[in-house]
């Protein structure tokens, strides 16, 4: 009763943590690979369950499902599309995990949405994950987008330096 008085009822947190742990266990237990590869051979049932969790109401479950799918050996265009949709999710961790997954998928068809995320997301960690995904994917379109932003950043730095210099005079 002392813990409940000080910290309140932790039951919802424990249940949520157990749910996430169960998701991870389902993925690990259904893998057929015994190699040390970073990518997992998942059963189609596990992949279906993880894809279903991409639409879960809990953003933590969506994040974990996305990250789990990012380690899947057999990535289909349908999985890529389901993950790509998460770039517009309301939760920043879900958007960040989508960037990580798309980077691991090396999905060139995701470049336009990753560029949009990199340019427009309000959260710097999400923008950083999108940029890293673009660098890893490395298509000409991704490289052009990265170069455009670098050029703009250089020009802004020049203006900032000029303003600072004019204020010192």
Band (pLDDT 50/70/90 cuts) for residue 34 is very low
Phi and psi torsions of 107, nearest 5°: -90, 100
What ranges in the chain are assigned the alpha helix state H? 2-7, 11-29, 44-53, 59-69, 77-85, 92-105, 111-120, 124-137, 140-168
Q: Are 93 and 79 in contact (CB under 8 A)?
A: no
pTM to 2 decimal places: 0.70
How far, in Å, CA of 87 to CA of 120, rounded? 11
41-70 pLDDT, tens per residue?
Answer: 556 778 888 999 999 999 999 999 999 999
């Amino acid at each position: 009763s002392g813990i409940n008085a000080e910290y309140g009822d932790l039951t919802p947190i424990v249940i949520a943590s157990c749910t996430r742990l169960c998701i991870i266990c389902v993925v690990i237990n259904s893998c057929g690979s015994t190699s040390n590869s970073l990518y997992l051979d998942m059963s189609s049932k596990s992949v279906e369950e993880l894809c279903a969790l991409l639409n879960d109401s809990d953003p933590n479950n969506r994040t974990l499902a996305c990250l789990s799918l990012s380690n899947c050996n057999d990535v289909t265009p349908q999985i890529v599309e389901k993950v790509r949709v998460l770039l517009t999710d309301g939760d920043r961790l879900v958007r960040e995990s989508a960037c990580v997954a798309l980077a691991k998928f090396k999905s060139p068809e995701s470049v336009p949405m990753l560029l949009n995320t990199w340019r427009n997301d309000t959260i710097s960690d999400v923008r950083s994950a999108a940029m890293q995904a673009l660098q890893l994917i490395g298509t000409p379109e991704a490289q052009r987008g990265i170069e455009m932003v670098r050029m703009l950043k250089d020009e802004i730095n020049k203006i900032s330096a000029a303003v600072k210099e004019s204020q010192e005079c």
